[in-house]
Amino acid sequence: MQKSILTPIFSTFPAKPRYRKLLCRAISGNFNPIQTVRQNAALNIFTTPQLPPTSVYIHLPFCRKRCHYCDFPVVALGSNSPTQTNDNEDDPRISNYIQLLCREINASRVSFESHSPLETVFFGGGTPSLVPPRLVSSILDLLKGKFGVTSDAEISMEMDPGTFDVKKMEEFMELGVNRVSLGVQAFQEQLLKACGRAHGVDEVNEAIEIMKSCGVENWSLDLISSLPNQTPQMWEESLKLTIEAQPNHVSVYDLQVEEGTKFGTLYTPGEFPLPTDVQSADFYRTASRMLSGAGYNHYEISSYCQDGFECKHNFTYWKNKPFYGFGLGSASYVRGMRFSRPKKMGGYINFVRNLENGMVDYTGNTNINVGDLASDIVMLSLRTAAGLNLNFFRCAFGYSVVASLCEAYKPFIESGHVLCLNEQRRVVTADEFNASLNEDGIGRGLAYIRLSDPEGFLLSNELISIAFGVIAP
């Protein structure tokens, strides 16, 4: 899933409706928000959008049924969709879509003099594990031919319980799939049914056993909190069973009720049978406590991992690096330009046809809106435990911006929601922070800022909005 309808508690990042209008203002006399990379060499620290992408997202939209919370662009195939690889005929809805997807990849222009091979490939959906392995192979072969793929590339696939067996898993692994994101969501039958999930607890247990028996060395388990009628005891049970399953990575999402979904018709956020905001926050705290206590690193707002098992592909997003996206509703970030494809199949078909006829150009340009870039970097950096590198940020955007940001965060430093670290990543005290708010201190004594876990992450909406206000006053 590339779009986040399942987001960390209180961390649905605020929209930036004022960006395009207000970022033409200068924050200081020497801060020009519209300039080229060549006009400010210091920006090279943060101008990875101008580099050739080394990551690609592939959207495979097929599901057995649409979940009640889902507003992704998906194609529901029906609950009896094949899970095995020995079916003689492919569903034409799948095979026709794969042909269309490959046409898009073939028609996409690569506008770089040199191009590094892909380091990450992510098959998202939908439920990509419903696609026959031989069709996935055709996509990978095309990517290798057009862009190249490194021998140690992270190739991830989202998979749902009940959509694959041992044979199918082994075939995906033979193709090079080396990371699995398993969409469990809950370990209680009543919650899975209430969400409209196509699988049950028996299929969850079977899928976990397949991960182990096939020797999948890097796999993640996804959970959703704040579901209708979900109790703290249910949530603790799901976390306990997750820890016992020993995935390398765990993603914990908070339910977001979206308009146009069945949940959007049935429920109002914060009202029974959905939890209150206070209860949702407690779910988040419980996940942080239990998973951290089990040895998982809380390295990003919604992500936990064992040492060395961070999702490399997602770091592409969090580090604001460029990426390709192909398929229905997918997004690309190339040469500083973000571009999304149509979410309806008819529109996507027309888009591919126009692309083949040379009527679509989304390759971007060499101009970067520095204000947008600064805002994106702060927003994405504060998602992670690493936080924002103040020295790099100062070199790129100037002392006054960093000083204003630190000043705005002073009350939250004192409350413990924001942490400031020195160059050795030691948390500095509020007194040390105040004493270092000068040109010599920022970037040295004050080297990083990050949100605390879990309280700062819970307040991320407000804290990131404050940063936006500093950049675009």
Q: State the residue range of the domain holding 231.
A: 55-319
Domain closes at, from 291, 319, 347: 319
pLDDT for the residue numbered 18: 25
Q: Is residue 304's pLDDT more than 60?
A: yes
In contact, 457 and 11? CB cutoff 8 Å: yes
Q: In what order do the strands lie in the sheet with 388-389?
A: 388-389, 448-451, 418-421
Residue 470 three-state SS: helix
Together in a domain, 80 and 164 = yes
- 290 & 415 share domain: no
The CATH code of the domain that includes 94 is 3.20.20.70
Is the domain of 315 the same as that of 420? no
DSSP 357-409: TT-------SEEEHHHHHHHHHHHHTTBSS-EEHHHHHHHH-HHHHHHHHHHT
Q: Does the pLDDT at position 398 exceed 80?
A: yes
Q: In the chain, how many domains are there?
A: 2
Q: Mean of the pLDDT values across residues 12-22?
A: 27
pLDDT band of residue 336 (cuts 50, 70, 90) is confident
Considering the domain architecture, whether residues 166 and 257 belong to the same structural domain is answered as yes
The answer to the question of residue 346 being in a domain is no
Q: What angle do CA 380, 384, 390 make, to 5 degrees?
A: 70
Give pLDDT, residue 445. Answer: 84
Domain check: are 284 and 408 in the same one?
no
Q: Do 314 and 413 belong to one domain?
A: no
- What does the DSSP assignment read for 236-268? HHHHHHHHHH--SEEEEEE----TTSHHHHH--
Per-residue model confidence (pLDDT) at position 13: 31
Same domain, 107 and 220: yes
**Listed residues 256, 288, 319: the one ending a domain:** 319
Radius of gyration of the chain (CA): 23
CA distances to 188, 218, 263, 281 from 191, rounded to whole Å, are 5, 27, 13, 19
Taking the CB of residue 87, how many other CB atoms lie within 10 A of it?
11
Same domain assignment for residues 143 and 229: yes
pLDDT tens for 224-241 read 999 999 999 999 999 999
Does residue 352 have a pLDDT over 90?
Answer: yes
| Residue 273, in any domain of the structure | yes
Residue 343 inside a domain? The answer is no
Question: d(Cα 9, Cα 223) in Å, to the nearest integer?
Answer: 13
Going by pLDDT thresholds of 50, 70 and 90, the confidence category of residue 45 is very low
Residue pair 60/123 in contact (Cβ under 8 Å)? The answer is: yes
Query: CB under 8 Å to 469, separation ≥6 — which residues?
Result: 408
CA distance 121 to 283: 32
Q: Do 376 and 285 fall within a single domain?
A: no
- Can you tell me the distance from the alpha carbon of 182 to that of 196, in angstroms, rounded to the nearest whole number? 17
- Asked, for residue 224, whether it belongs to a domain, the answer is yes
Position 416 pLDDT exceeds 60: yes
| CB of 451 closer than 8 Å to CB of 444 | no
Q: Which whole number is the average pLDDT over 151-176? A: 98
Q: What gap in Å lies between CA 454 and CA 462, rounded to an integer?
A: 14
**Residue 50 domain flag:** no
- CB contact set of 466 (below 8 Å; sequence gap of 6+): 408, 409
Does some domain include residue 327? no
Examine the domain organization and report whether 315 and 392 are in the same domain. no
Residue where a domain stops, chosen among 258, 285, 319 = 319
pLDDT band at 367 (very low <50, low <70, confident <90, very high): low
Give CA–CA dist 365/69, Å, rounded. 37
Asked if 113 contacts 156 with a C-beta cutoff of 8 angstroms, the reply is no
Region 132-136: mean pLDDT is: 97
Specify whether the backbone of 8 is left (phi greater than 0), alpha (psi in -120 to 50) or beta. beta
Q: What integer is the mean pLDDT of 61-85?
A: 84
- Among 332, 330, 316, smallest CA distance to 110 is for 332
Q: Report, in this order, helix, strand and coil percent for the chain, each rounded to 5.
A: 40, 20, 40
Q: In this structure, what CATH number is given to the domain that contains residue 405?
A: 1.10.10
Does 42 fall in a domain? no
Residues in the chain: 473
Based on the fold, state whether residues 375 and 245 are members of the same structural domain: no
Co-location of 410 and 293 in the same domain? no
